[in-house]
Amino acid sequence: MELEVEILHITAGGRRIAVLSEETASALGVHSSDRIRITHEKREAIAIANLAANFSINRIGLYEEIATSLQAKEGERIDVQLAQLPESITHVRAKIRGERLRETDIERIVKDVVERHLSEVEIAAFLTALSIHGMSMSENEAMSKAMVETGKTIDFNSKPILDKHSIGGIPGDKTSILVVPIIAAAGYIIPKTSSRAITSPAGTADRMETLCPVNLTTREIRETVRKTNGCLVWGGNLELAPADDLFIKVEYPLGIDPLLLPSIMSKKKAIGATHVAIDIPVGSGAKIKNRTEAYLLASDFVDLGKRLGLKVQCALTFGEQPLGYAIGPALEAREALSTLSGNGPPDLVDKATAIGGILLEMIGVDDGKRKAENILESKKAENKLRQIIESQGGNPEVKPEDIRVGDKIGEVRAQQAGRVLWISTENLVQIAREAGAPKEKGAGVILKMKLGDAVRKGTTLFQVYAERATKLDSALQLAERLQPYVLSRKAEERMLLDQVPAKIVREKPFMLER
C-alpha cells in the first residue's frame, strides 16, 4: 500500500518505529507490534508499527531513525507492507516454554536486539524467561560470544591483559581505584572500564569522574594505557557490548539480572583481557547472600572464562558492611586517594591488595599479595594513579581535601550503648541516594562506626553529606525511620529481624551496575 510520509522530527530512543492510524493498519492487516516493510526508492527498512488513534489515514509517521535510514522526506509516497515477524521471535517463544536455545538461536536474538528488530516487549519477555528458567553454560557462552561479535573491540597489541570486576552490591566499594594502579605500577597492562551508578550511590566511573574525565574515546584509552599501563574509564560509550546496554534498559525497571555472567565476561573479552579477577561480595545485603551461592557463581565464572579463552579467578569477599568508611562519588574518591597515600582503612587495603595479589599470581608472580602491599606502601601505586589521572585529563597533584564534597552535614547517633552487631548496607544505599548521590557527587554517607565497634549512647554512628539542605533533611529523616545500625547490648530486645508486610513500604534498591 502506498502511504504519504509524515516526518515526526523526533527520535524514538533508537527504536525503529513507524506510526499508522488504526484504519490504515487494519487495511494493511497490521496489528500493534507487527512489523512493516517500508520501501522507498531502493532503500528498505523494517519497522515496528505503533497504532495511533487520531493519526491521518493513508499516512505513515516516521521517527528520525527510520526516516534517516530510508532518506525519506515529508510528503513523499512510500510503499508499506505487512512483514513477517523476525525469526528470533520463534526462539524467544521457545525460551518462554523453557527450551534450551542453540548457539545460532542466541546469535539471531542478539543480532535482532542490536538491529532493533525485536521490540522491548519481546526483549522483556526473553529476559524474564531467562531469569525464571536460568541459562545453561552453553547458552551463557553463546550469549557472551554474540555480545562481543555485535560490538566493538579494543586491541592493545600486547599480552597479558589483566582486568578485575566486581559483581557489585555493597556500597563504598572503591577497590578498582587501588587495584588498577597497583597492577599498572607492577608493569602489567590493566585497561579498566567501569559503569556509572544506576541504583547504587556511586559507580567506579562516578568516583573517578571527581578526579579526571572518564568519558574517553578508544584512541584516548589506547594512548593512556600506552603511557601508564592502565586506565579507569567509563565503558558506556565504547559500544563494547551494545546488546547488553539494550538489555540493561529493560532489566532495570524489572529488577532482574539474568545476564550477569555474559554481560561481564563479554566486556572483558571485548577489551582483550587474558586474566580476570572477579570479586564476589558475600553478605545478606549483597547480591550474593551466602557462600553456597557464591561458590556456584564463582565456578560458573571460571567455566565461562575457559569457554571464552580467559583465565578467571574469583575472590569471595566479606560483604556484610560497606567497604571502608565513605559512600558517595566524591567521598569515596577522597578515601581512595588517602588510602593510596598511606592513610586508609584496613579493610579497603586488605581487599585491594588481595585482589591485586590474585591478579599478580595468575600471571606467575610469587607471593602476589605481599608484592601488592609493597607497591601500595612504597607509594608507587599512588604515583601511578596520578599518572593515569594526568593522562585522562585531570590534575595529577590533586589532594584528597581538594575533592569537593557536600557542605551540608548531619549526624546520626546511637540511641543506646552497645557494639555494632549488624549494618544494613541496603538502608545505607537508600540514605546516600536520598542525600543526592550519585547525581550530586558530593553527597553520601561517612560511617563513623563499623561492625564490632563499641559505642556509647549518643556516639555518632554515621554522617550524612549533602549539597542541598532539603536533601540532607530528607536523608536524615529516612535514616531515622530505617535505623540501619543494630547494636548488640540488648540483643534480646531486638529479636525481630523484619516484619511482613513491611512497616515501611519502600522497594529495596535493586543493584544493577556492570
Q: Which amino acid is at 479?
A: A
Contact 204, 174 (CB under 8 A): yes
**What is the nearest approach in angstroms of a second copy to the Cβ of residue 173?**
21
From 121-129, 144-152, 172-180, 369-377, span contacting a second copy (CB under 8 A): 121-129
Tally of CB atoms within 10 A around 345: 18
Task: Determine, following the binding rule CB under 8 A, whether residue 439 of this chain makes contact with a second copy.
Answer: yes
Contact 243, 114 (CB under 8 A): yes
Cell reading at 474 = 530528607
Where helices occur in 42-85 by DSSP H, the ranges are 64-70
The candidate with the shortest Cα–Cα distance to 477, out of 429, 410, 414, 425, is 410
DSSP 503: S
Task: Determine, following the binding rule CB under 8 A, whether residue 7 of this chain makes contact with a second copy.
Answer: no
The candidate with the shortest Cα–Cα distance to 151, out of 252, 45, 246, 215, is 246
From 27-35, 333-341, 404-412, 473-481, span contacting a second copy (CB under 8 A): 27-35
Cell reading at 238 = 565504547
Task: Determine, following the binding rule CB under 8 A, whether residue 119 of this chain makes contact with a second copy.
Answer: yes
| 407 noted as active-site residue | no
Task: Determine, following the binding rule CB under 8 A, whether residue 31 of this chain makes contact with a second copy.
Answer: yes
**What is the nearest approach in angstroms of a second copy to the Cβ of residue 122?**
6
Residue among 397 and 507 whose Cβ is closer to a second copy:
507
> Which of 112, 257, 300, 347 does the annotation list as catalytic?
257
From 249-257, 295-303, 337-345, 374-382, span contacting a second copy (CB under 8 A): 249-257
From 88-96, 299-307, 345-353, 460-468, span contacting a second copy (CB under 8 A): 88-96
Place of cell 550477569: 260
Cell reading at 449 = 562506626
- Binding to a second copy (CB under 8 A): which residues in 252-281? 252-256
Among the listed residues 5, 38, 92, 414, the single contact to a second copy using CB under 8 A: 92
Task: Determine, following the binding rule CB under 8 A, whether residue 249 of this chain makes contact with a second copy.
Answer: yes
Among the listed residues 3, 89, 143, 241, the single contact to a second copy using CB under 8 A: 89
Q: What angle do CA 455, 456, 459 make, to 5 degrees?
A: 80
Residue among 61 and 171 whose Cβ is closer to a second copy:
61
Among the listed residues 71, 81, 90, 343, the single contact to a second copy using CB under 8 A: 90
Residue among 29 and 393 whose Cβ is closer to a second copy:
29
Please name the helix (run of DSSP H) or strand (run of DSSP E) that holds residue 471, with its range, or none. Answer: helix 469-482
Please name the helix (run of DSSP H) or strand (run of DSSP E) that holds residue 329, with its range, or none. Answer: helix 329-340
Among the listed residues 23, 29, 291, 399, the single contact to a second copy using CB under 8 A: 29
Task: Determine, following the binding rule CB under 8 A, whether residue 242 of this chain makes contact with a second copy.
Answer: no
Task: Determine, following the binding rule CB under 8 A, whether residue 343 of this chain makes contact with a second copy.
Answer: no
Task: Determine, following the binding rule CB under 8 A, whether residue 96 of this chain makes contact with a second copy.
Answer: yes
Find the distance separating the first CA and the last CA of the chain, reported in whole Å.
45
User: Sign (positive/negative) of CA torsion 129, 240, 319, 170?
Assistant: negative
Where helices occur in 2-63 by DSSP H, the ranges are 22-28
Contact 324, 345 (CB under 8 A): yes
Residues 315 and 338: their CA atoms lie apart, in Å, by: 24
Residue among 20 and 298 whose Cβ is closer to a second copy:
20
Contact 455, 461 (CB under 8 A): yes
Contact 216, 389 (CB under 8 A): no
Site mask, a second copy, residues 48-77, x = CB under 8 A? --xxxxxx-----x--x-------------
Among the listed residues 107, 122, 257, 300, the single contact to a second copy using CB under 8 A: 122
Helix %, strand %, coil % of the chain (to 5): 40, 20, 40
Strands, sheet with 454-455, edge to edge from the N-terminal-most edge strand: 454-455, 418-423, 485-487
- Binding to a second copy (CB under 8 A): which residues in 464-483? none
The answer for residues whose C-beta is within 8 angstroms of residue 246's C-beta and 6 or more apart is 113, 114, 123
Distances (CA, A) of 462 to 174, 409, 414, 472: 18, 10, 9, 13
- Binding to a second copy (CB under 8 A): which residues in 131-170? 131-133
Task: Determine, following the binding rule CB under 8 A, whether residue 1 of this chain makes contact with a second copy.
Answer: no
- Binding to a second copy (CB under 8 A): which residues in 159-218? 198
Please give the size of the binding site for a second copy, defined by CB under 8 A. Answer: 55
From 82-90, 215-223, 225-233, 294-302, span contacting a second copy (CB under 8 A): 82-90
- Binding to a second copy (CB under 8 A): which residues in 494-513? 505, 507
From 93-101, 140-148, 365-373, 465-473, span contacting a second copy (CB under 8 A): 93-101
- Residues identified as active-site: 257
Give the binding site for a second copy (CB under 8 A).
8, 10-14, 19, 26-27, 29, 31-34, 50-55, 61, 64, 84-85, 87, 89-90, 92-93, 96, 98, 119-125, 127-129, 131-133, 198, 249-250, 252-256, 439, 505, 507
